[in-house]
Amino acid sequence: MVQMTPRERVLTAINLKEPDRVPLDFGGVVSGIVMGLPYGYEALCRALGVTDPIEPQINTRLSCVQNIDERILKRMDIDIRHINIGGKPLQELPNGLYRDAWGLILKPSGVYKSIPDELAPLRNAKTVEDIENYSFWPDPSDPVFIEGKRKKAKELRERTDYAIFAHPGYAGRIFHMYAGLRGFDKWLLDMRINPEFYDAFATKITDVAIDVCKSFYNEVGDYIDVAVYYDDMGMQTGGFVSVEDYRRFIKPYTARYVREIKKITKAKLFYHTCGSVYSYVNDFIEMGIDILNPIQPLAKNMAPELLKKEFGSRICFHGGIDVQRLLPFGSVNEVKESVRKTMKILSPGGGWIFAPAHNIQPDTPPENIITMYTVARDFHLN
C-alpha cells in the first residue's frame, strides 16, 4: 500500500476504510497525559530525552497537557494535532476554591479539580427567569474565544500534513454543563419532577454552546478535520439513564447541537463519552456522530470485539487502550501483548484511531507509554 500522509491516514480511517497503518493520536483534552507524580508528563519528557520541553499549558480541570512538545509527537509518529478554543484564567476564591468563566466552582481534588454539587451556582434556581438572569453566561462575541485561532489553524493546515482536531472547551458539552451548574443529582431529578424547567435549562445551555461554537468554528472551521464534542453518558456498569430516558431527555438537544455544528464546518464530529455507553451507540450513529471516544475496554459491554462486530461498519472508534489497569500496572510485555491484541481486533477495515482510553494518569510508567506507541506504529496486519 502507498504510504499516506497523516491527514490522509486519519480521514481514511474515519471514512471506515483501511489506511496504510492505524493512525495514532496523543494530545488534546481526552487522549493526552496528566501532570503529576510519580511519573506524569515530566517523566515522559525525560524518558524521551526532551530536557527542555515547551512550557506546558494545563487544562484547568483535568490537569492534562494541552500542548505536548512537538519533539515527543514526532518521536511517536502522532498523526493528529489539536487546537483549543481560547479562554479566561480561573478566578481564585477563598478556601482554596476557584471559579471559571462559566461560573462553575472548582475544588482541587488530587491532581484534578472537581465540581461539587453543593456549590453548583444554579442549584437553587426555580424559574426560567433565574436561568436567564444568571450572570455568567458567556458572550459568544467575546474575542477571548477566537484570538489567534484562525492563524494557528491556517498554519497547521497549510504548513503541515497532520489531521487537525478542534476543541471548543465548555461550549462542546451540554449535560456536563447542566450537572456542573445545577448539580449532578438535580440534572437527573429535573428530568422527572420538573420537566419544564429542565427543558428551559437544557435549551439555554444548548443555545449558548452553539453560539460560542459558531464564533469558534467560523474562525477555524475551514481548516480543521474534526470537531470535538464531550458529554459523558456512562458509568463503569452502564449508562446514566435508560435508553428511553436518553432518547427523551438528552438526545434531542445533542442531535440539535450536532446538526448545527455540521452546518458551520465540514469537519467530522467526534464524541467523547466515558463509561459503558453500548446501549446508546445506535442513537449516536443516527444523530450523525462520526467518531466515538474513548472506548473504555473494562466498562460493561465496551469490549473492542463487541463494538467492532456491532458498530464497526457504521462509526469510527478512537481510543481503546486501557488506562485503568494495563498502562499504570501492567508490565512492558503485558502492554505489548494487549496493544497487539486490540490492534488485531479494531484495525481491520479501518474505522479506528489508536489512542489511550482517556488521559494517561501520573502513575503510568513512561516505558509503558513508549511501548504502547512503538507497538502501534510498527503494527501491520499482514
Opening angle at CA 251, ends 248 and 255, nearest 5: 140
Q: Which three cell numbers stand for residue 63?
A: 490537569
pLDDT tens-digit profile of 290-308? 999 999 999 999 999 999 9
Q: For 316, which DSSP code?
A: E
271 CA to centre of own chain: 7
Structural domain 6-87+126-378, CATH architecture: Alpha-Beta Barrel (3.20)
The pLDDT value recorded for residue 382 is 62
Residue 176's contacts (CB-CB under 8 Å, 6 or more residues apart) are: 230, 231, 232
Domain ranges of the chain: 6-87+126-378
pLDDT in tens, the chain (382 residues): 789 999 999 999 999 999 999 999 999 888 999 999 999 999 999 999 999 999 999 888 888 999 999 999 999 999 999 999 999 999 999 999 999 999 999 999 988 999 999 999 999 999 999 999 999 999 999 999 999 999 999 999 999 999 999 999 999 999 999 999 999 999 999 999 999 999 999 999 999 999 999 999 999 999 999 999 999 999 999 999 999 999 999 999 999 999 999 999 999 999 999 999 999 999 999 999 999 999 999 999 999 999 999 999 999 999 999 999 999 999 999 999 999 999 999 999 999 999 999 999 999 999 999 999 999 999 976 6
Residue 340's contacts (CB-CB under 8 Å, 6 or more residues apart) are: 375, 379
Q: Beta strands of 183-266 (E only): which ranges? A: 226-230
